[in-house]
Amino acid sequence: MAGDPELGERFRALIDPLRYPGGGVPERDLLEIRRIKARIESERLPRGADPTTHTKIGRGGLADVEWTVQLLQLQHGHALPELRTTRTRAALAAAAGAGLVDAEDAGVLDAAWVLASRVRSAVMLVRGRAGDSFPGDPRELSGVARYLGYGAGHSGELVDDYRRTTRRARAVVERLFYGP
């Protein structure tokens, strides 16, 4: 943001009650948010993509963590200014620090977010273009694995580690995002 800092602060004060409503998210809005996310999961995954290895909208991937954190921000940002950040990991740490998320659950979500981000970056470096899924080509997958510190011939371990990490994250998302 550029310009008059005082004007910027007045604007934030004006919009914060809209971004972080007092009392959190009304039940009807919560249901709609959950419905939208479920629809994205079912409709936006590319045809033929494996939901267990899609880093963006696959199970336990970036979107799962980000939607969960953003829901916590909507629900509690009015009372906890430390949640008011665009940085997913910082908001997750703030939520854990405030006791909104169990430290172990926060660790699981953080680990999944970091791993999915690293895989996504490695895919871009290996392929030379953006990609949200693990490469199907064994040579490219081997390159991603090597970039992430796995030895030659151990790309299967990377895929197994990723699936294990994101499966644990999805279980946390099921409780925190879709919960009761």
The string of pLDDT tens digits covering residues 15-48 is 888 888 888 889 999 999 999 999 999 899 888 8
Which amino acid, one-letter code, is at 96? A
In this structure, the chain runs to a length of 180
pLDDT, one tens digit per residue, over 106-162 is 999 999 999 999 999 999 999 999 999 999 999 999 999 999 999 999 999 999 999
- Alpha-carbon dihedral 118, 121, 123, 126, rounded to 10 degrees: -120
Burial letters 7-36, b for 16+ CB under 10 A, else e: eeeeeeeeeeeeebeeebbeeeebeebeee
Q: Considering the entire predicted model, what is its pTM?
A: 0.92
Decide if domain 24-178 falls under CATH 3.30.70.270. Answer: no
